[in-house]
Structure 1
Amino acid sequence: MRLNSYDDFTPLKEIVVGTADGYVDRILDLSFDMFISDNVSGTRGYYPSISTWRDSAERRDRNTPHRLALKERFLSELVEDVEGIAAALTSLGVTVHRPMAIDPDLRRVTTPAWDAAVAPPLNVRDITLVLGDELIETPPTLRNRYFETHFLKPVFMDYFRQGARWSVMPRPLMTDASFDPGNDNAAPNIEVPDNPQPSPYDTGLEPLIDAANCLRLGRDLVVNISNENHALACDWLERHLEGRLRVHRMHKLTQSHIDSVVVPLRPGTLLLRSPEVADFLPKALRTWDVIVPPAPTVDDYPQYENGDPIPPSPYIDLNVLSVDEETVMVNDACKTLVATLEARGFTVVPVRHRHRRLFGGGFHCYTLDTVRTGGAENYLD
């Protein structure tokens, strides 16, 4: 089919599901420090921040034989669960596309300004924005994801041959000086960069944004702006989409991604992390019906003995995937969320996803819907 995806809730026909194959370890550099900052709720959750963990005994002991054996087990279970997500979507009649495999010998990549480990294309939602008949590769906010869209090229080429537009936002140099360190510009609780260094390639702040900062609603695109990097990227989107889509700026709802904070389940209904989220939304969205499930507790997640920092929000299980306006894929461990949605008339498809907080990402993160039946509808007027 031709590329066509304007929203997250009309009937789903085709989707890309990421892969966890080749996942080695979490990157630890300035770009990671900046990314894991917590959200506007003012709490860091149930796990230590990167600055606390950086000098801890847990970090020094993280590669003991026992720890490595645990990591191998968790990675194996992550691969199993991602494959289960793909199988569940196929069983629902959705055509599933997959990224190309990463050569096992490809461990690091190098640019003129830095080098980094290679991340597998797992959270494919983050790095590509699908707007109608256009693929837009976004400038990544983590260095180890810089070339991640390369592993999606065969899928993108197929859609391009069928008539899709294909754009790439400006590729950043991503030196330490590229990142907005916060101050008065960024969302609260931003992590302090660890010893940023000058580079001969410094150009100052650059456009940096993940597609998961954006909410797609037919002819409207809502963009969460939490720092100057996001604002510059939004400038590009506004100019690029002028005359085709309307871009709305939403300020400092979270430090970055919003798809575990505000989720449109169908026209007129939003799934929200908390009632306060509505205060940040465009005025037209504040009139929609709201579903707010009970807040998660520490007992709702697997516990890990190694004390590693956990980047995702404790609300990661709100990262659901709608198959259509009545059917929602939800983590099978989230009994309260399942009951909440069923009570509101939704059909829930429970699917296993065990280590969502350890490795990051939910069903929406791990997928990129490329064909839905909806069009450039006007949901905000």
Structure 2
Amino acid sequence: MSIVSDLVAAQPAAAPSPTASPVRRPLVQVHNEWDPLEEMIVGIADGARVPRADPGLYAVDYAENHASADEIPSGPYEHRVIAEANEDLARFAETLAAHGVTVRRPEPTDHAATFGAPGWTTDGEYNYCPRDVLLPIGDMIIEAPMMLRSRYFEPFAYRHLLAEYVESGARWISAPKPRLPDETWTARPGEGPIIAELEPLFDAANVLRVGRDILFQISRSGNRLGLAWLRSVLGPQYRVHAVEGVYDGTHIDTSITLVRPGLVALSAERVSPDKVPAIFARWDKIWVEDMVDTGYAWSYPRASIWQGMNFIMINPALAVVNELQRPLIRQLESHGVGVVPLPMRQARTLSGGFHCVSVDIRRRGTLEDYT
């Protein structure tokens, strides 16, 4: 060692400048569905309603069981539905907080108010399912270009949070706001694609994060232009895979649920062995066959019994699951996963289980390759 090096080595470490700003960590940081959870948004059921009839609502939710859009049971849900849903959401939020998770909530909205864009007018739905609205990937949070007119301004209920996330160093972008003309919805179920390729469309719940691999379900709530837009935004750091032939209803998280690296739960009814996404080729699989019908309190359930697959991971060893889904709970426990069973009485009525009614904003972990 030279004399200069000796002198440098002998010097005490410089004290940090009292005026130096600490390095801030963005409040948004999430790479998968299982890393230890630090912050989560949980929805609210206040003012929830079935929106007024229009071509999109009919094509997406009602065409399979109703002869025309006139049969859509539009209007507010009864008080008991809202009260029970909010009670269950509050208990869910309290459980997360007890596990050290910061819980945030959307702002209440007047969903009965009318609004519109050129060519159409509608009213709102709810702030019950933030998973559909916001898509955090890494330190970026994306407002999704949702395919229902009634949810056009739903992201506004989260603007107070988004502003705070940006101030912390996160990136906030919005997908191109769609026009949603009548031509958006092209066919009845079984007669071809439900949504046209006129503009990028997808709900954030069409997407699952598996580190550098991102799954995007092509369905009546996500089209190929939406897939192409997401690929262009995320760039070469990520591999965005189309998931097709699994479930053409709406969201991916009632058919495929990620548990931890190397373990995925799959709906045996919807996911045939030849349709399992290739990234799970070497993973262990929980084939879920028994779903408990948890019932509904409305003239028509907005979700199938597979809403029971809609669970969330607090960490790789602990899941929050609808307490009535006992067969699923036993399957998870047999794979060494602890379960917090909680009530979710209106999951089928309002179309939202624990994964739907929440969106993870920050999980403790790094971007990794799991394939």
| Counterpart contact for 2:310–2:355, Cα < 8 Å | yes
* Residue in 1 that maps onto 2:17: none
Residue 14 of structure 1 pairs with residue 64 of structure 2: no
Residue 23 of structure 1 pairs with residue 48 of structure 2: yes
Residue 270 of structure 1 pairs with residue 270 of structure 2: no
Q: Which secondary structure does the structure 1 equivalent of 2:128 belong to?
A: coil
| Counterpart contact for 2:197–2:223, Cα < 8 Å | no
* Residue in 1 that maps onto 2:203: 210
Change (3 A) 1:152 1:277: farther
Deviation of the 1:176 alpha carbon: 0.7
* Residue in 2 that maps onto 1:85: 92
Which of 171, 186, 208 is residue 177 of structure 2 equivalent to? Answer: 171
| Counterpart contact for 1:179–1:229, Cα < 8 Å | no
The amino acid of 1:177's aligned partner reads E
| Counterpart contact for 1:88–1:351, Cα < 8 Å | no
Q: Which secondary structure does the structure 2 equivalent of 1:345 belong to?
A: coil
Change (3 A) 1:315 1:204: closer
Deviation of the 1:76 alpha carbon: 1.5
* Residue in 2 that maps onto 1:247: 240
Deviation of the 1:284 alpha carbon: 2.7
Change (3 A) 1:51 1:335: same
Residue 258 of structure 1 pairs with residue 252 of structure 2: yes
Residue 125 of structure 1 pairs with residue 126 of structure 2: no
Query: Residue deviations 1:66-118, cap 9 Å, x none?
Result: xx8x82212221121112211111111100011112258x6222222211112
Change (3 A) 1:85 1:227: closer
| Distance in 2 between residues matched to 1:228 and 1:85, nearest whole Å | 27
| Counterpart contact for 1:138–1:169, Cα < 8 Å | yes
How many residue pairs get matched? Answer: 344
Residue 290 of structure 1 pairs with residue 285 of structure 2: yes
Deviation of the 1:204 alpha carbon: 7.3
Indicate the larger mover: 25-34 or 155-164: 25-34
Deviation of the 1:183 alpha carbon: 8.5
Structure whose CA Rg is larger: 2
* Residue in 1 that maps onto 2:13: none
Describe how 1:133-212 pairs up with structure 2 within 5 A. Answer: 133-181=139-187, 186=192, 205-212=198-205
* Residue in 2 that maps onto 1:40: none
| Counterpart contact for 1:180–1:229, Cα < 8 Å | no
Indicate the larger mover: 285-294 or 224-233: 224-233
| Counterpart contact for 1:9–1:266, Cα < 8 Å | yes
Which of 49, 57, 62 is residue 32 of structure 1 equivalent to? Answer: 57
Residue 233 of structure 1 pairs with residue 205 of structure 2: no
The amino acid of 2:201's aligned partner reads L
| Distance in 1 between residues matched to 2:221 and 2:133, nearest whole Å | 19
Deviation of the 1:28 alpha carbon: 2.9
| Distance in 1 between residues matched to 2:88 and 2:334, nearest whole Å | 27
| Distance in 2 between residues matched to 1:241 and 1:251, nearest whole Å | 20
Change (3 A) 1:277 1:125: farther
TM-score when scaled to structure 2? Answer: 0.85
**Alignment root-mean-square deviation, CA:** 2.7
Identity of aligned residues (%): 31
Stretches of structure 2 that go unaligned for 5 or more consecutive residues are: 1-24
| Distance in 2 between residues matched to 1:78 and 1:16, nearest whole Å | 16
* Residue in 2 that maps onto 1:51: 66
* Residue in 1 that maps onto 2:15: none
| Counterpart contact for 1:179–1:206, Cα < 8 Å | no
Q: Which secondary structure does the structure 1 equivalent of 2:119 belong to?
A: coil
Deviation of the 1:119 alpha carbon: 2.3
Indicate the larger mover: 236-245 or 148-157: 236-245
The amino acid of 1:28's aligned partner reads A
* Residue in 2 that maps onto 1:310: 301
Deviation of the 1:34 alpha carbon: 2.3
| Distance in 2 between residues matched to 1:315 and 1:165, nearest whole Å | 34
Which of 60, 78, 98 is residue 105 of structure 2 equivalent to? Answer: 98
| Distance in 2 between residues matched to 1:311 and 1:186, nearest whole Å | 22
Indicate the larger mover: 353-362 or 18-27: 18-27
Q: Which secondary structure does the structure 1 equivalent of 2:46 belong to?
A: coil
Q: Which secondary structure does the structure 2 equivalent of 1:315 belong to?
A: helix
Q: Which secondary structure does the structure 2 equivalent of 1:370 belong to?
A: strand
Flag the structure with more relative contact order, 1 or 2, with Cα contacts below 8 A and sequence separation at least 6. 1
Change (3 A) 1:254 1:267: same
Deviation of the 1:324 alpha carbon: 0.4
| Distance in 2 between residues matched to 1:178 and 1:237, nearest whole Å | 19
Residue 301 of structure 1 pairs with residue 312 of structure 2: no
